[in-house]
Structure 1
Amino acid sequence: MTDLSTEATSADALLDDLRRHCYRPVLGDAQVGADDDFFALGADSIDLMRVVTAAQDHCRVDIDVAEFFEAPTLRRLAQIVERELAAGRVQAAS
């Protein structure tokens, strides 16, 4: 039996959550790996903005679009979200 750390499990859960709530509405049912380049999957800059907006709305954090654009992978998006949540930089409820 494999003993997964809580950190690894929560990282995997965040990847799955972002894949389901942010990537899937834009890319459909395409199989997206954590390190797949967003643009190599056929997406464009408008799609990137849609994913960032969905992630911001879903996770209630601000995301630096330029930072995600530099490394447009699901893993990088999750790292940005984790960093913002850990720093307590969440958006006020509207």
Structure 2
Amino acid sequence: MSLAQEMAALWGEYLDNREVGPDDDFFALGGNSLIGIKIIERVAQEYGAELSVRDFYLAQTPARVAALVERGRSGT
């Protein structure tokens, strides 16, 4: 499973266990600030990547968040 797919599955857990694809938009799926913060905290715990709320919201899709996580892991 790719990191984008892992992120999509993680989002699905917080979005009423719905199917989420790597290119699905967080806000179109019903995401809100509380859910976003929970996902950001979980990503920090499980993947060791610190995401800002702003970066998370601008990314909007699991695939783009996965790219941010990869960058965070590599320290760039």
Tell me which interval the TM-score lies in, with the shorter structure as reference length.
0.7 to 0.9
Normalization by structure 1: what TM-score? 0.70
Question: Quick one: distance in 1 between partners of 2:6 and 2:25?
Answer: 18
Match of 1:58 in 2: 46
For 1:19, what is the secondary structure of its paired residue? helix
Check the 8 A contact 2:5/2:62 in 1, yes or no. Answer: no
Corresponding residue number in structure 2 for 1:91: none
| Equivalent pairs, count | 76
Q: Is the 8 A contact 2:12 2:19 kept in 1?
A: no
Q: Which runs of 5+ in 2 are unaligned?
A: none
How far residue 17 of structure 1 moved from its aligned partner, in angstroms, is 2.1
Residue in 2 that maps onto 1:79: 67
Deviation at 1:29, TM superposition (A): 2.7
Partner of 1:69: 57
C-alpha spacing 1:25/1:81, structure 2 compared with 1 (3 Å):
same
Equivalent residue letter for 2:32: D
The corresponding residue for 2:22 is: 34
TM-score by length of 2: 0.84
Task: Tell me the distance in 2 between the aligned counterparts of 1:16 and 1:35.
Answer: 10
Letter in 1 for 2:20: V
Q: CA deviation at 1:18?
A: 2.2
Q: Percent identity?
A: 29
